[in-house]
Amino acid sequence: MTSISPAFVDSPTIEVTELSKWFGQKVAVSNMSCSFGPGITGLLGPNGAGKTTLLRMMAGLSQPSRGELTVLGTNPRRETQVFQKVGLVPEDDAVYEFLTGRRFVEYGAELAGVRNPSSAAEHAITAVGMGEAAERRIEGYSKGMRQRIKVAGALVNDPEVLFLDEPLNGADPVQRVRLIELFHQLAREGRTVIVSSHVLEEVEKMANRVIAMVDGRLAAAGDAAAIRAAFTDIPYRVRIDSDVPRRLGSALLEQDVIRSVEVINDTLHIQTDDLGDLGRMLAPLARDLDIRLTMVQPEDLSLESVFRYLVHGR
């Protein structure tokens, strides 16, 4: 069995091959190669990393300067029929303010060639919880409501591939939970959902796979823990709470697996190269010293830490 790079998936619905995009002198995306498949993939990157440009190319809104891109096996710029199976939630307010929410979603259905736009719109509006406000004009909507009606507009054609650019912007906490659950459900149904967001906590809740971009290039791919593990030169940080932190700290310093120990406000913060070795060693050590451990928690396995390492190196 051969293993493939984490940048690629087994059954891709979107394939990006040596893709570049430049605007005059500015290179927005540089030689990207990766693929996307069913499930939720988070597209991460700091501002200006090129994630929106990549998303726009994948959604057929922008022509690549070089390289190849296929969505569901076709070039989206040449064969626009593929958009019958694609949905897009753009970051900007791409809505007709004077239309009611329902009419806007219905119009999206008509543009996607859905035979029964009213019924499809009704389903999509219900899915995003906008039923009560659907008859109001969009100009009177809050930011979160606009976001939800855009999501409804993207869902109305039952897309196999869904591009979401900052989809939770402005949504209140209840709606965020609901939308995240909706995206999970779409992923469970076998759809490809690509989420670009700068809110890492949200991406962490949504995506089981991450494509990270820095300066227009592919910086990392995989799940957050796997990407973190790839930083072999950066030790893991672990927080340990115990009843006698200083004694435990002294004992830990004698272990090969520990790089450094710090006690801050009666809490131990250690650095280690191998979480597995630490796990195997820590419990017997505490038992031998008769120390009670109350919490052991890695501090930099989160997407935010991984992202910080990618962008800043530390």
Residues in contact with other proteins by CB under 8 A are 59-61, 80-84, 86-88, 90, 92-99, 103, 107-108, 110-116, 119-120, 123-124, 126-127, 129, 153, 155-158, 181-182, 185-186, 189
The upper half-sphere exposure of residue 213, i.e. CA atoms within 13 Å in the direction of its Cβ, equals 29
In angstroms, what is the minimal distance from the CB of 207 to other proteins? Answer: 18
Beta bridge partners of 220: 212
H/E stretch holding 43: strand 39-44
Instruction: Give the whole-angstrom CA distance, residue 264 versus residue 286.
Output: 19
In angstroms, what is the minimal distance from the CB of 252 to other proteins? Answer: 49
For other proteins, which is the closer residue by CB, 126 or 267?
A: 126
For other proteins, which is the closer residue by CB, 120 or 168?
A: 120
In angstroms, what is the minimal distance from the CB of 193 to other proteins? Answer: 12
At residue 169, φ and ψ (nearest 5 deg) are -55, 125
For other proteins, which is the closer residue by CB, 157 or 242?
A: 157
For other proteins, which is the closer residue by CB, 178 or 217?
A: 178
Instruction: Give the whole-angstrom CA distance, residue 166 versus residue 6.
Output: 24
3-state secondary structure of 255: coil
DSSP 200-245: HHHHHHH-SEEEEEETTEEEEEE-HHHHHHH-TTSPEEEEEEESSH
Q: Of 66, 59, 90, nearest to 216 (Cα)?
A: 66
In angstroms, what is the minimal distance from the CB of 166 to other proteins? Answer: 14
The two tokens of residue 160 are 């196999």
For other proteins, which is the closer residue by CB, 18 or 93?
A: 93
In angstroms, what is the minimal distance from the CB of 241 to other proteins? Answer: 39
Beta bridge partners of 263: 268
Q: Are 38 and 183 in contact (CB under 8 A)?
A: no
Separation in Å, CA 229 to CA 61, 241, 251, 261, 306: 35, 24, 26, 20, 9
In angstroms, what is the minimal distance from the CB of 223 to other proteins? Answer: 25
Q: Under the phi-then-psi rule, with left for phi > 0, alpha for psi from -120 to 50, and beta for the rest, what region is 249?
A: alpha
For other proteins, which is the closer residue by CB, 94 or 253?
A: 94
In angstroms, what is the minimal distance from the CB of 105 to other proteins? Answer: 11
In angstroms, what is the minimal distance from the CB of 163 to other proteins? Answer: 8
For other proteins, which is the closer residue by CB, 131 or 280?
A: 131
For other proteins, which is the closer residue by CB, 70 or 242?
A: 70
3-state secondary structure of 254: coil
Instruction: Give the whole-angstrom CA distance, residue 294 versus residue 165.
Output: 41
Amino acid at 137: R
